[in-house]
């Protein structure tokens, strides 16, 4: 007999004991909403909080436990809201504080918890603190990392650190000092050794906890503390080292004191809704990452190693084993994630087209069958691919506008301590810089060579696409071990912009930071209708949606038992109904996770949990093996006679006895 790809009529009672005990995060499925691309209520082409609230029933029907909202605070939008000018106010682009309050209340009424972003590593250049620093207010610069430059006249950056977005991590101000920004120049890093910084963020967290939010996703949770003396790294392409090698600006031991203090703050809010902290942290090893989720620190940390894992059974098993071992050692749950707002969508990473979709569906079932908590990125339940042919004129990723990468000027080694600007040590390799170090004007209102403007489409309009060929996308490590699109043959500005490209725009082979192509995963999602904006809002969308997305909308997939949406709905319903899924079950002392690998043919992963089995066939062809039980859900139809099963290529199947 052939078992179809989705299951219906499942029990809806949530049986996992952790939910009843209040430790809801241990097996929660949390849905990331990129606010500006989720739903638009007012017709300006940009998603907002009222739009999110109107679509909460979709998330409740999907079966997730919580929603995580990307920043909606007052911001110049130099980096999609991750440059915050006021942490206690809603940007008018997204609504107002009353809209935030109503969204939280509506979510709670539907049984959904709400997690919001907090951005503690840096502020916006428009933040009152940084304005005061540039204006010369006494003591104001001590809240940030201002330093004198090197060289005879201080004309060189204080060290060789590079921005994650490309270019130097330092910008010079009018009086000659430099300030650190690990991301865009519009995002100056805070100095967390200053007591006012800690006090301010304690106040910010309490503000939103008092409004009713259930926790925080902590942006750059590994970055707030820098190594003493801000030492040189001694090599370039530093963004490619994040998550694989120790760096003086990330994963310093001092960050853990901050997180312990925040855990005490979160625990002080008693009641049936436990408040949690989630670390967006990159660390060189699973063991280092596990330090963020020790019993007195944060509740979860994103497991990016799973996201970056190739479609290879041995690599997957290694990542799963090492992740579970590291978190189990500190008594914390493991998290699993396949996509987010910073990486190429996994349908495309896994090859694109029918094969990429098949693998993405299978990977989703694998993820949801593992012990711990899972994160879904908006639109993955629809099987959305990366949009790789966005015109250059539509892109808003700040890394895309940073210009061609320039090597950071550094002093020559002794005995010549005063090199001329634009030179490199003789021992280094690479081209000589073509430009002097970046400088900043006296005030943040005028922002020098960087593009600092935020544009939104007029209601009912969409940018006119250029005739751009679709870029080839491959999977390879990116900043922090993430994944980035890589241009195929004929790459360069023309490949990105469709010909006649700006020669100053970055290209993938040259980039040492992020490529600036993150807009492709941020295109507003389709809800209904035959043409853009597919129910996203009353008018257009801030990024153009593909004309082929009509069949991928929520409305088009609802009720189709073979659709990706119904597969996700069935998987989340089963995850609630089967006691062997979700939280780790109590097993023997040799394996407290209650998960055991079983023997399987080459290219196949097979593991069991109490009353449950999961098979993943990563091979490009079907494979036969003894049936592990009765199939209850599969990413593709499986053939079984009850004794043996023929697993389709690139598929995952769930089994019960």
Residue for token digits 């170090």?
Answer: 437
Quote the crossing angle between the two packed helices 195-211 and 97-109, to the nearest 10°: 50
Residue for token digits 């000589």?
Answer: 432
User: Distances in Å between the alpha carbon of 464 and those of 42, 320, 391, 457, 643?
Assistant: 22, 44, 8, 11, 56
Q: Known catalytic residue: 280?
A: yes
583, 371 Cβ separation under 8 angstroms:
yes
Q: Which residues contact 657 (CB under 8 A, 6 or more apart)?
A: 611, 629, 630
Distance CA 566, CA 61 (A): 10
Instruction: Please identify which of the residues 79, 191, 219, 650 carries the catalytic annotation.
Output: 219
Query: Which pairs from 510-513 meet CB under 8 Å and 24+ separation?
Result: 510/404, 510/405, 511/166, 511/399, 511/405, 512/162, 512/166, 512/236, 512/237, 512/238, 512/239, 512/240, 512/405, 513/162, 513/163, 513/164, 513/165, 513/166, 513/167, 513/239, 513/399, 513/402, 513/405, 513/479
Neighbours of 435 (CB within 10 A): 13
- How far out from the chain centre does Cα 169 lie? 21
- Phi and psi at 624, nearest 5°, equal -105, 145
Q: Which residues contact 445 (CB under 8 A, 6 or more apart)?
A: none
Q: For the CA atoms of the chain, what is the radius of gyration?
A: 25
Residues in the chain: 657
Beta bridge partners of 67: 31, 114
29-33 and 66-69 beta bridge pairing: parallel
H or E, element range at 204: helix 195-211
Distance CA 406, CA 423 (A): 12
Instruction: Please identify which of the residues 280, 478, 519, 585 carries the catalytic annotation.
Output: 280
Q: Which one, of 522, 482, 516, lies nearest residue 496 by Cα?
A: 516
Q: Which one, of 333, 435, 396, lies nearest residue 65 by Cα?
A: 333
What's the first-to-final CA gap in the chain, in angstroms?
17
Which token pair is 14?
């949530």
553, 612 Cβ separation under 8 angstroms:
no
Q: Known catalytic residue: 573?
A: no
Q: Report, as residue numbers or ranges, the catalytic residues.
A: 219, 280
């Amino acid at each position: 007999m052939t078992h179809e790809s989705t299951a219906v009529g499942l029990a809806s009672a949530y049986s996992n004991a952790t939910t009843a005990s209040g430790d809801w995060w241990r097996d929660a499925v949390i849905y990331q909403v990129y606010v500006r691309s989720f739903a638009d209520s007012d017709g300006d082409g940009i998603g907002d909080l009222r739009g999110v609230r109107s679509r909460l029933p979709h998330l409740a029907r999907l079966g997730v436990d919580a929603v995580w909202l990307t920043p909606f605070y007052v911001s110049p939008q130099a980096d999609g809201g991750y440059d915050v000018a006021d942490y206690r106010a809603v940007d008018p682009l997204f609504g107002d504080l009353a809209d935030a309050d109503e969204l939280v209340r509506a979510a709670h009424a539907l049984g959904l918890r709400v997690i919001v972003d907090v951005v503690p590593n840096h502020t916006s250049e428009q933040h009152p603190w940084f304005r005061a620093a540039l204006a010369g207010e006494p003591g104001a610069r001590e809240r940030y990392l201002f330093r004198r430059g090197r060289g005879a006249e201080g004309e060189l950056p204080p060290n060789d650190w590079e921005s994650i977005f490309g270019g130097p991590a330092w910008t010079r101000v009018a009086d000659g000092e430099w300030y650190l920004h690990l991301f865009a120049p519009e995002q100056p890093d805070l100095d967390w050794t200053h007591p006012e910084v800690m006090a301010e963020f304690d106040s910010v967290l309490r503000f939103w906890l008092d409004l009713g939010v259930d926790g925080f996703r902590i942006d750059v949770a590994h970055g707030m503390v820098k190594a003493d003396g801000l030492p040189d790294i001694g090599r370039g392409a530093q963004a490619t080292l994040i998550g694989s090698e120790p760096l003086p600006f990330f994963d310093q031991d001092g960050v853990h004191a901050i997180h312990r203090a925040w855990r005490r703050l979160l625990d002080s809010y008693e009641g049936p809704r436990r408040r949690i902290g989630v670390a967006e942290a990159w660390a060189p090893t699973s063991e280092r990452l596990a330090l963020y989720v020790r019993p007195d620190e944060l509740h979860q940390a994103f497991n990016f190693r799973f996201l970056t894992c190739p479609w290879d059974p041995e690599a997957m098993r290694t990542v799963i084993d090492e992740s579970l071992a590291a978190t189990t050692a500190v008594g914390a749950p493991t998290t699993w994630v396949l996509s987010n707002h910073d990486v190429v969508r996994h349908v495309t990473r896994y090859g694109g087209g029918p094969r990429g979709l098949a693998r993405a569906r299978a990977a989703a079932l694998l993820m949801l069958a593992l012990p711990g908590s899972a994160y879904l990125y908006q639109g993955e339940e629809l099987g959305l691919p990366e949009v790789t042919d966005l015109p250059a004129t539509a892109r808003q990723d700040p890394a895309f506008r940073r210009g061609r990468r320039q090597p950071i000027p550094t002093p020559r080694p002794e005995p010549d301590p005063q090199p001329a600007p634009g030179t490199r040590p003789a021992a280094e390799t690479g081209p000589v810089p073509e430009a002097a170090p970046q400088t900043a004007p006296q005030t943040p209102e005028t922002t020098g060579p960087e593009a600092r403007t935020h544009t939104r489409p007029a209601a009912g309009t969409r940018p006119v696409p250029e005739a751009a060929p679709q870029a080839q996308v491959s999977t390879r490590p990116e900043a922090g071990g993430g994944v980035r699109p890589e241009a195929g043959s004929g790459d360069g500005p023309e490949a990105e912009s469709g010909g006649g490209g700006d020669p100053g725009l970055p290209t993938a082979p040259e980039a040492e930071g992020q490529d600036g192509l993150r807009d492709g995963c941020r295109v507003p999602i389709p809800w209904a209708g035959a043409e853009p904006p597919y129910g996203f809002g009353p008018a257009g969308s801030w990024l153009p949606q593909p004309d082929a997305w009509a069949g991928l909308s929520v409305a088009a997939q609802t009720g189709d038992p073979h659709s990706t949406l119904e597969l996700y709905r069935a998987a989340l319903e089963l995850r609630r109904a089967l006691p062997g899924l979700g939280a780790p079950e109590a097993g023997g002392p040799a394996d407290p996770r209650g998960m055991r690998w079983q023997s399987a043919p080459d290219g196949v992963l097979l593991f069991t949990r109490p009353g449950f089995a999961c098979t993943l066939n990563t091979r490009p062809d079907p494979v036969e093996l003894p049936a592990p039980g009765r199939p209850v859900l599969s990413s593709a139809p499986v053939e079984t006679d009850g004794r043996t099963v023929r697993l389709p290529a690139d598929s995952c199947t769930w089994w019960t006895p």
